[in-house]
Structures are given as C-alpha cells and as structure tokens.
Amino acid sequence: MPKCLIVFFALLGLALAVKFSVPLRSSGSLKEKMVREGRYSEYLVQRKSAVRQNLVDTMDEFYVADIALGTPAQHFTVSLDTGSSVIWVLDSHCDSQNCHEYTLNHTMKSAYNNETSSSFVDANNNFLFYYSQSEIYGLLGKEKVSFSGFSLSNQDFIRATVLPDVFTQQPIDGVFGLGWAPQAELKGVGNPMQALLPQLDQPMFSIWMQRNDGMGSAGAITFGGFDSKACDKNIQYLPLAEPGVWGFTVDSASIGIFSHKQSGKAISASGSGWTGIPDKFMPQVIKATKAKYDWNYELYYVPCSTAASHPDIKLHIGGNVYYITSAEYVLDIGLGNDKCVLAIFVDTGLAPEADWILGDAFIRRYCQIYDFGNSRMGLSKFIQRD
C-alpha cells in the first residue's frame, strides 16, 4: 500500500476513534447556602405558593459543566442530566428578572443571544415543557454546540424565554440532556446524544463524581468510553428497567434490621442531589436512624454527632449489594443545634415511573455506565480519590 494511503487510513482511524472527557464541577449544596443566608424558610413559602416548583428538593447539589453555543462562542454552565434529552439555555429575550439573576450571590447568569451568532438557525417553533415539574417556555433553534474541543453543528436547542422563579436559586444557565429521547411535549426536538453517538468510539458515556467543596475536579463525564483510572474495570451490567430510561431494577433494600422486600424501578439521576426512596421504605429509614422531623425546615434530621454512624442503606441489585452510607445520606446543611438532615425524599412526582431516584450520593460511590449500544447500564466501584 502506498505510504500516503497508510497515513490516510491512520488518520481516518484517529478521526473515528473519539472518546473524550468533560470535567464536572460541584455547585455545593443549595439548601445549605439558603439556610446559611437565612433564606430557606422564605424559599419554602415561595414554593408553596407555586405548584410544580420543587427543583431544590432534589436538585440540591449540581454537578455542572461548561458548554459553548454559537459563533463566536457564548459560554454556559449547564447541568448534565441523564433524566432529560434536549439542550436548553436561558435566552436574552427572556425579560423577567428570574431568568437572569442568580439570587444566591446576586450575579447575572449567561443568556444566549441569537443576534450575535453567525451559526444560529431559527426553527420557528416554540414549546411549553416541564423540567423537574417546572414549566418552561422556549423557542427552538439550531446552533453549533461545543464542549471540550468537540462540537456538534446544527444541533437543535431550546432558548428558554419563560422560566419559573425557582430557577433563580439554581447555579445553572441551562441543561444538557443525556437521555434517550425527549419527553412527549418535546417530540421532534433533536436529541444531542443521538447526534453525538455515531461519532463516538463506542455508543456510550460514563460518569463519576466525588465530593469537592472547592473548585477542583468534582468528577467527569466520558463520552465514547469509560474512565478506567477512576472506575473499577469490574463492571456489573444491568438491563434497563424501562426501555429508553436510564435505570434498572432494585430487587430489595434494607437499613439496619429493617428491610424492604418489594422490587422497584430505579433511575440513575445525575441531576439529583438527594436520594429518592419508595414511600414504604421511608418509615424504616426513620426508625433505623431515629430521625426527627423539623417542622420549620420541613426536613428529617439526626444529631450531627452521629452522622457517620447510622446503618448503610443496602440495595440488592442484580445479585450484588450496593451501599449508600450514612456519610452520604446525612448532611450538615448548617441548621445548627447539632441538626444534620437526611438527604432523602419520597416525592416520586419527579419521575412518576420510578421508586428510587439514585443521584449523587449513589453515583459518588459507583461509576455509572450508560450503554446506548446494548440498551443497558453498568455499575462499577469508584476508585480514584485525589
């Protein structure tokens, strides 16, 4: 074979072999920030006056990444969310205060401006959709989307022009959906993962996360493969409990001497800071931890001095046992008086089909592998601690 052809095939091989990682940053606990600023009670009142606004309940801690849209690039901080399937960012045409201000530190969020981008294409379509039970209104467009040196051209995205008040508490400018297909209201809106998959080494991505209160590395998402430095190579693969949803079956669960024998569907929710458990299991968790209810903050709490000594929540999944330790499910969010909260909720309204919402507390212990090619999920121990 002529030399130039060999070089050509070598280059072609390189061009096809795409695997890249995007670093994640942690926002820290939003509840903690609100409690420390004395704004949490006010938030609870605000939440009650508005239905469907409970983002902060579960999305307490965000693992966010940077993406860019447009030419020249406009930069956004987005939540990478396995539970949704489109890209949306707040738009400069949103003229209400709640679109632009990040109330926790009174800084302005980034808003997308279509007028300054040469790669913007208007799709002349608009949508009303739900994100974590909040109503969002937006305009459909196409843009160049870039992250970590990789880009998708002509990618559908939504410019959000009406957002719920509660959005001001969230340290994000939008969301990048990592799911299979958009929800019913967003039918026809192009899914970024479906656009990305054909270009990847393997049709999959994986995520690891770790606690990081500073601004250092809090995790990474690897597109097209698996991060074998951070994650154990011994992977347990599980069939999806429901086609097109990143999740699997939890056969049973226990905490201390209490057990929950019913099997249930779990979703792997990279956008959820707290752990959602079946309502019938909650009384067991309360008994096992002797947690008390704080009516003012509407949270269950235990003494902080016992935070690390409560029994593990054990999940039986595909013949193996997975653990959520009390160091993960008990959090000090600054309530004071030796009160630490159970970072657990039972509001299944977030994902009506799921009994378990396994978010950051679970993902920090177990790397999650999202395998589109084989319609399955993989779990493996997180091993790197730096």
The residues of the shown chain that bind ligand NAG, judged by CB under 6 A, are 27, 93, 102, 105, 107, 114-115, 120, 122, 139, 171
Cis peptide before 311 (omega within 30 of 0): no
| Of 63 and 366, CB closest to ligand NAG | 63
| Of 105 and 337, CB closest to ligand NAG | 105
Least spacing, CB of residue 124 vs ligand NAG, in Å: 8
Give the β-pairing of 313-317 and 344-345: unpaired
Residue 195 vs residues 74, 133, 166, 278, 300: alpha-carbon distances, Å? 21, 26, 31, 35, 43
| Of 5 and 108, CB closest to ligand NAG | 108
| Of 112 and 248, CB closest to ligand NAG | 112
CB-nearest residue to ligand NAG: 171
Q: How far apart are CA 174 and CA 163, in angstroms?
A: 11
Least spacing, CB of residue 120 vs ligand NAG, in Å: 6
Residue that the structure tokens 């989307």 belong to:
145
Q: Please, is 327 exposed, middle or buried when counting C-beta atoms within 10 Å of its C-beta (0-12, 13-18, 19+)?
A: middle
Give the β-pairing of 174-177 and 74-81: parallel
The CA angle 374-380-384, to the nearest 5 degrees, is 135
* Percent helix / strand / coil, the chain, rounded to 5: 20, 40, 40
The helix or strand, by DSSP H or E, that contains position 49, with its residue range, turns out to be helix 40-49
Q: How far apart are CA 278 and CA 346, in angstroms?
A: 6
| Of 102 and 258, CB closest to ligand NAG | 102
Give the β-pairing of 356-358 and 61-69: unpaired
The helix or strand, by DSSP H or E, that contains position 205, with its residue range, turns out to be strand 204-209
Strand order of the β-sheet with 330-331 is: 292-294, 299-303, 339-342, 330-331
